[in-house]
Structure 1
Amino acid sequence: MIRADVLEVYGLMWREKVKAYRAASARGTDLKRYMSSRASETLEADLARMRKEHTVMRGDLAHEPEVSTIAVGAQPPTAMVKDCVDGSKWQILDTTTGWRIPPPAGQPSRYAATARVERDHGGRWTVTDYTADRTRSC
């Protein structure tokens, strides 16, 4: 049950992140419901950079998340998620021209990511830390 709950909130976080990347804005998403403000700092920086560069993302991402550890007795209860993010069908689009922009050189299309998920006093799980290692393929 706990693993399923953790993976569900992780998946819902990603659904909202994809919405934000497609618009280069977190407006209209439920990210605050699934991510702490600390966890969303990197995302907000990415979105600000995208707005400055006039880019958005298109296509689909695939994931292979698994709960690697659970600490139910910790205060707060925590779980760690390991993921392999597949961005091979994820494209950068220049909003001023409509053209696709090639991905950064040397960045693998599949990369490793980890997330820390915590349960609050009300029993709701939230992603409190998310780290993508775009230098490490999986």
Structure 2
Amino acid sequence: MFFLKKNRWVWIAIFLSVGSRSTLAFHKDMYEPRVPKAIIAQEQQVQSPYPVTPERIEAGRKIYFGVGFCVTCHSKDGTGVNLPGHPSRDFTDVKWQKLRTDGELMWVLKNGSPGTGMPIRVGTDINEEDGWNVIQFIRTFEGK
């Protein structure tokens, strides 16, 4: 017990360090894929079963700003909100848009992004068709 009292500040510093989101965030490179390496090739081949249409983009916009809660972290203009810990994805980044496939984005919507604040959305807040619509809307941010 004496050891714990004597080193109380050390233990507090360790606890805060281990518990902070920035410590837990493991994506040091913002262009690093979020899909596990073992399945990324497979997920990159996945394509939306829905054609890109203005109606689907509009449906995706409504979900982004509504029940999908995307705007909370990714902002109204898609640049991302500056949150403590892992930064939110910037959907206006042309390089990121070209690197990430729709299949990868769907994987993140279905599985979340460990080490970040991105939760599972498809199957909790929205269905898979809604997810594809959101992806179509996210693509409209490229280069803005």
TM-score normalised by L of structure 1: 0.26
**Which structure is higher in helix share?**
2
**Which structure is higher in strand share?**
1
Q: Which has the higher Rg, Structure 1 or Structure 2?
A: 2
